[in-house]
Amino acid sequence: MELQRRRRSLGLAVLVVVFGLVALVCAWGAVNTATRIVYAACGVLALLIGTVLMRDELRPFRFVINADGLTLRDGTTLAWSQVDRIILDEPTPPATSGPHLILQPGDRIVLKLDEVKQPQAQIAEALQRYAGDRFDNRMARRGDRAEFLVVLRGYEPGRVDNLLRRAGDALLSGDPAQRAEAREALENPDLLVAMRGYDRAQVDAHLRKLAARLTD
């Protein structure tokens, strides 16, 4: 399975370059020196930004998952025998960069899934098929993320997300000390009320359920 890059900024890069060229043309026909300098500066800056964006979008991209192993973006080819574990996980809140693949040994992020066109489920299926027991789908093992209504005077979302992630990691670990610590945090949560946040009744009910699971 060869992944295809999602080119989200190519259109923006073209628009920025066109804007830069138009600004330079306007600078050429400006009526006074000050206006000419402003147009020229904007044009040069836009061309530089547009060129960088286009370079990044057009840079060669290759990431392959198959029976032989992995081919990474930098061209490195790894046989499955060289991989201890390939982990599908998401960053700890409040980071919002989306799911990514972590390679062990090294705990190195080798792919951010929002950079490719293939859906997460398809990538996970390919890794399960080819990597076997080396593939650790931590997102699936944590279960579906809880969805809460956003209301006035609700719990601040960042703190809730961090607490839920901590509880999910404790459920995965099986370590009694980590589970006890997470359960204590769920039973006595340090949550703040924000102008707009997660519905407090829904959050409280979900925290109680998680605390019960950590008690089992």
> Which residues face 103 on adjacent strands?
86, 108
Closest by Cα among 154, 213, 203 to 179: 213
Q: Nearest CA to 210 among 176, 157, 166? A: 166
Over the stretch 92-138, which tens digit does the pLDDT of each residue have?
766 666 889 999 988 899 999 988 889 999 999 999 999 999 999 98
Which is more confident, 5 or 71?
71
The DSSP secondary structure of 3-20, one letter per residue, reads E-B---SHHHHHHHHHHH
pTM of the model: 0.64
Q: What is the pLDDT of residues 1-13, one digit of tens each?
A: 999 888 767 788 8
